[in-house]
Amino acid sequence: MSVLQALDIGLAFLVFAVAAWTIFAPGAFAATVGYVVYGLLLSLVWIRLFAVDVALTEAAIGSGVTGVLLIGAAARLRAAETAGSEKSLSGSPRLLVAVLCVLVAMALAGVVLLLPDQGPSLAPQSMQHLPETGLGNPVTAVLIAYRAFDTMLEKVVLVLAVVGVWSLAADQYWGGAPGEARAERPEPTLAFLAQILAPLGILVGIHVFWVGADAPGGAFQGGAILAAMWIIVMMARLTEAPQTEAFWLRLALVAGPVVFLAAGVAGAIFAGGFFAYPPGFAKPAILFIEAFMVLSIAVTLPMLVAGPPRREPRQ
Amino acid sequence: MTEFLLATAGVILFTVAVGLVRILGGPGDADRLMAAQLIGTGGIGALLLISAATGAHGVEDVALGLALLAAFASAAFVNSAAPAEAPDPADGR
Amino acid sequence: MSLVVDLFSVVAIGAGVFFFLAGTVGLLRFPDPLSRLHALTKADNLGLGLVVLGLLPRSESLLSALKLIAIWALVQLAGATAAQLVGRAVRRKGTAA
Amino acid sequence: MTSATLAGLIGAVLVGLGLYGLIANPQPLRKILAFNLMGSGVFLVFGIVARKGAAAGLQADPVPQAMVITGIVVAFAASALAVALVLRLFEAAGRATLDPDAWAKPPDGGAGAE
């Protein structure tokens, strides 16, 4: 057994142990912290699968932004947890569920073991057409060129999620701002962290977006890092979330999908196919679309974390 | 050398795992947040070592992303716990 | 030349691993949250710092070396502020936390 | 056993664990966590399909990778919506349980749900 194999087995065991902790931990807060740890370990696993783009997404969204969302929720729901003595499944139903889940896991594991060593692959095709897009990163090419429609609809899903979250607001708060108000005296340590982190993070976010054309990275990852920076500034309460009725906010939320769709329609008119890019002009078009996607993601994720409006709209 | 880098990554992950066993279980939330902090640092260290050994490209950016977000769990905890602990005059409606 | 670089990497990374170990031992042994926090920051500062130092001469380009240093600096910042935040939360709740 | 197969096996175990948590844990937040765990298990299984499709000088097939990236973002959006629902339920009713028996009884103090 090589050192690398031993490392892989150790990592797998660690992932399993932390995952089991998030399921069986005694309290919700302990479970959510476990989930944050788990997300970080998962990005290590993605590195071992040589999927660096995915590792970057998992690190930024799976661990970072989701962690903020869940830890915030767990801290707020602590009162509910102690008040409600909820019946946990027990006795034979619990055993039945456990057996069912073991069977599902074993069936899946069987499928995994039966997979051929060299599976069918679209990698040759995606590399073959890569020069036409002008990009160097095939994953970005898949996202914005080969499967552009898919990615565009996924942006629509994000907008719908924001609409869903906002529609949970109480009537009088509709159009108001979510989250905490700006603090007169912010917690000094948190403010210090946010003030140093945010400029650096904005730099890193734009860098990740920009290199995404040719190296691991891209609009999702860059946008998620930018989103995280807005979240930390809001958490430090140096600034407050905008009014949800603000026109600029709504414009920024839909800019990504709208520009993407417009580019798709333009492709149908000028390049002979829906979401086709004119030859020789593909890379600028892709970067143009991506820039608006970064903007939309950087605005959408903080709005999803901030939750529904909780203050009355200012006139 | 590759073997050495991988072995050290393994040792770091192992020590971090031992630390996790101790603090993920508590007793307090503070200890649990330390778990997130510890795995952040150890994970980044292991990540850098593994990428140096296996030659996966672009891993520095992943580590950079993780480093940027390393304090987020603690920040989220303080942010959501603070209003209940000490009401801020700016907060009241 | 490469032997010298390798030796440097081995010494620095080995020392880094030692501080990770020391931090973990501190976590296991120290009785109260504040001193455990103290042990934790050693792993942040020195452990990762020495690992980064050992990897620096192996980096492919100046940009990736700069990124390595930036990673360490960011982890320092995160570790220091998180320790402050957690420590304050501990004190606010008394020793029970 | 290759590292890809190992990751796939872990993915399978994660799906099982997540499914168990989704069914057996009573609290809605824990169910959201379990669901996310299950989702990431599916992503991992898909990820090894990418790794086993390594060809043309690439170390992994880019198409599944891109789909996993979209999946992670959509999973986050779904979790955010679910968390918002649970928090709203808690705000409106003072409790966040999914147990129908608990809702049949008025809460302590008889304040009722708004």
Domain ranges of chain C: 2-93
User: D37 and chain A: CB distance < 8 Å anywhere?
Assistant: yes
Chains that contact B by 3+ CB pairs under 8 Å?
A, C
pLDDT score for C96: 44
Residues of C in contact with B74 (CB under 8 A): 81-82, 85-86
Q: What share of chain D is helix, strand, coil (3-state, %, to 5)?
A: 75, 0, 25
Question: Is it the case that residue C40 has pLDDT exceeding 60?
Answer: yes
Please tell me the distance from the alpha carbon of residue A127 to that of residue A138, in angstroms, as a whole number.
Answer: 7
C and A touch per CB criterion (3+ pairs under 8 A): yes
> Among all residues of chain D, which has the CA nearest to that of A11?
D7
**How far off is chain B from A47, nearest CA to CA, in Å?**
8
Please tell me the distance from the alpha carbon of residue A147 to that of residue A286, in angstroms, as a whole number.
Answer: 12
As a whole number, the mean pLDDT across chain C is 81
Chains that contact A by 3+ CB pairs under 8 Å?
B, C, D
Residue entry with tokens 């006139």? A315
D53-75 burial by CB neighbour count: b if 16+ within 10 A, else e?
bbbbebbbbbbbbbbbbbbbbbb
Domain membership of residue B81 (yes or no) is no
The pLDDT > 90 percentage for chain D reads 35
User: For residue A309, what is the DSSP state?
Assistant: B
DSSP A109-173: HHHHHHS-SS---SHHHHHHTHHHHT-S-HHHHIIIIITHHHHHHHHHHHHHHHHHHHTTS-GGG
Query: Taking the CB of residue A168, how many other CB atoms lie within 10 A of it?
Result: 18
Closest partner CB to B65 (pick from A11, A14, A60): A60
pLDDT score for D16: 92
pLDDT score for C32: 78
**How far off is chain A from D105, nearest CA to CA, in Å?**
12
Taking CB atoms and an 8 Å limit, are C70 and A200 in contact across chains?
Answer: yes
Taking CB atoms and an 8 Å limit, are D3 and A5 in contact across chains?
Answer: yes
Domain count, chain B: 1
Amino acid identity at A170: A
Tens of pLDDT, residue by residue over A114-155, are 887 777 777 777 777 777 777 777 788 788 778 878 888 888
Chains that contact D by 3+ CB pairs under 8 Å?
A
For chain A, how big is the Rg over CA atoms in Å?
22
The domain spans of chain A are 1-81, 129-315
pLDDT band at C1 (very low <50, low <70, confident <90, very high): low
Q: How far is CA D87 from CA A80, A169, A237, D82, in A?
A: 10, 11, 21, 9
pTM given for the model: 0.88
**Most C CBs within 10 Å: which of B8, B39, B57, B72, as the mutation test of the C interface?**
B8
Q: Which domain holds residue B31?
A: 2-75
Q: Are A155 and A260 in contact (CB under 8 A)?
A: yes
User: A272 and chain D: CB distance < 8 Å anywhere?
Assistant: no
Domain membership of residue B19 (yes or no) is yes
pLDDT score for D80: 93
Taking CB atoms and an 8 Å limit, are A115 and D49 in contact across chains?
Answer: yes
Taking CB atoms and an 8 Å limit, are A207 and B61 in contact across chains?
Answer: yes
Domain membership of residue B44 (yes or no) is yes
Closest partner CB to A139 (pick from D54, D66, D88): D66
Residue entry with tokens 């070396």? C65
**Across A46-55, A293-302, C87-96, D104-113, least confident range:** D104-113
* Under-50 pLDDT residues of chain D: 109-114
Domain membership of residue B49 (yes or no) is yes
Domain membership of residue B22 (yes or no) is yes
Question: Is it the case that residue B57 has pLDDT exceeding 70?
Answer: yes
Domain membership of residue B92 (yes or no) is no
